[in-house]
Amino acid sequence: MTGTLGAFDIQGDLLFGVSTADFIYDQVIVTTSIAGIEFGFYAAQLSKAVLGGPADGFVVRLAGSTQGLDIVSISEFGARIEDEDFHGITIYHAATGLHKHYTTNPLVHGQCFTGQKITVSGWSFGCVNDIAATMYMSQDGFEFIKFDLTEIESGLPWLAFDLELKFTLQTKSLVLTPTLNLGETTCIDLYTAIVTDPASPVSISGINVYGLGFSYSWNGVSIKSLSVFKTSCYAITTPEYGSLIESIAEALENGHEYYSNYWELFSIEVVGDGCCGGNYTFLANTYFQCDSTSLFGWGMTHIEASMPISSNLFLNGEIEIDTDGLNHFGFAVRVSW
């Protein structure tokens, strides 16, 4: 459930068991912006019936800018929120394979202070235009400090490097990642990655083209096509996560759902004016798989639609059909105020 109360944006999530309807997890997120400062409050509880529970906690996030620098402060009281350094929480139901991912991860029972993280970004020095520094301290003391340098120029217009230098109490690590920039295109996207030698990560051995995309929009109609050439390492994410080509490792790390058995997507989305100021939407995604014996290698079709009944009331529905027949059917009523 999401909504707005005055200057505050509020999100609430409540999860119950599939068969027993027992309480499993809840989350409340409140965000607002006052005088240029972003404020966020994240709270969550985890049932003792789930691995890692019982646990509860909250996080306070403050963010703002000064003198061209962006500053983010995250204070943890028994919980963590998902960002570049930490994951959220993914809850699995073993019997059905269903799982849900949430931003706030409660870690301990009892809301005591457990950590503080401060990030300052937007520095520039020499030929590096974006430098970020992050320090994290737990209730036990200093944990790490790291420096991220992005888009370090190599002298070649198509090649740059990202660098991460990290210090802990006992270790120092340096990660240098080459990045490829083939320029901007109008409607065709080429998904590429630099291939490095495992024995020497800074040794470039080739360029891997692992995907191809096409997109075009006209008068409320959007068409998109995605093709994955290396399904062992890359996949197409579900509509909930944007229907993008993403590495499987990153999807697992970020808790993104993806289709492991489909290599190609053709999508059409229509958005138009409905009644009472709302918009109706219609989305149809058709997926193809390599080992399918159906026409054109068809594997699955996902259809979802949203229709406004009034300015505050929407009817939502979705259906999935694969080679085995009806796979999923859902219906929902969405109310806003």
Domain ranges (residues) in the chain: 1-113, 185-337
pLDDT bracket for residue 40 (50, 70, 90): very high
Q: What are phi and psi of 85, to 5 degrees?
A: -100, -30
What's the confidence (pLDDT) of residue 153?
Answer: 72
The single-letter code of the amino acid at 308 is P
- Three-class SS state of 68: coil
Above 80 in pLDDT, residue 57?
Answer: yes
What's the confidence (pLDDT) of residue 213?
Answer: 87
Return the higher-pLDDT residue of 140 and 202. 140
Residues near 100 by beta carbon (within 8 Å), at least 6 away in sequence = 15, 25, 90, 91
Burial of 70 (0-12, 13-18, 19+ CB in 10 A): middle
The single-letter code of the amino acid at 236 is I
What's the confidence (pLDDT) of residue 277?
Answer: 67
Task: Give per-residue pLDDT as tens, 205-218.
Answer: 777 788 888 888 88
What's the confidence (pLDDT) of residue 300?
Answer: 87
Among positive and negative, which fits the CA dihedral 306, 310, 311, 313? negative
pLDDT bracket for residue 316 (50, 70, 90): confident
Residue that the structure tokens 């991460």 belong to? 164
pLDDT bracket for residue 37 (50, 70, 90): very high
The per-residue b/e assignment along 87-105, b for 16 or more CB within 10 angstroms, e otherwise, is bbbebeeeeeeeeebbbbb
pLDDT bracket for residue 44 (50, 70, 90): very high
What's the confidence (pLDDT) of residue 186?
Answer: 62
The whole-number average pLDDT for the span 199-210 is 70
Above 80 in pLDDT, residue 276?
Answer: no
Averaged pLDDT of the chain:
83
Above 80 in pLDDT, residue 65?
Answer: yes
pLDDT bracket for residue 182 (50, 70, 90): low
In 3D, which of 280, 288, 269 has the Cα closest to residue 216?
A: 269
- Three-class SS state of 85: coil
Cα–Cα distance, 132 to 124 (Å, whole number): 9
The whole-number average pLDDT for the span 37-66 is 90
Round the CA-based radius of gyration of the chain to a whole number and report it. 23
What's the confidence (pLDDT) of residue 259?
Answer: 84
Does residue 289 contact residue 228 with C-beta atoms inside 8 Å? no
- Three-class SS state of 277: helix
Return the higher-pLDDT residue of 329 and 180. 329
- Three-class SS state of 252: helix
Above 90 in pLDDT, residue 181?
Answer: no
Above 80 in pLDDT, residue 200?
Answer: no
Above 80 in pLDDT, residue 320?
Answer: yes
What's the confidence (pLDDT) of residue 143?
Answer: 92
pLDDT bracket for residue 183 (50, 70, 90): low
Above 90 in pLDDT, residue 5?
Answer: no
Cα–Cα distance, 261 to 272 (Å, whole number): 32
Does residue 104 contact residue 42 with C-beta atoms inside 8 Å? yes
What's the confidence (pLDDT) of residue 76?
Answer: 93
Task: Give per-residue pLDDT as tens, 113-135.
Answer: 899 999 999 887 766 778 899 99
The whole-number average pLDDT for the span 175-187 is 69
Above 80 in pLDDT, residue 295?
Answer: no
Above 90 in pLDDT, residue 204?
Answer: no
What's the confidence (pLDDT) of residue 292?
Answer: 65
Above 70 in pLDDT, residue 185?
Answer: no
- Pairing status of strand 128-138 against strand 99-102: unpaired
95-102, Cβ contacts within 8 angstroms, sequence gap of 24 or more: 95/18, 95/19, 96/18, 98/18, 99/257, 100/15, 100/25, 101/255, 101/256, 101/257, 102/13, 102/25, 102/27, 102/44
Cis link prior to 54 (omega < 30° from 0)?
yes
Above 90 in pLDDT, residue 112?
Answer: no
The whole-number average pLDDT for the span 194-201 is 69
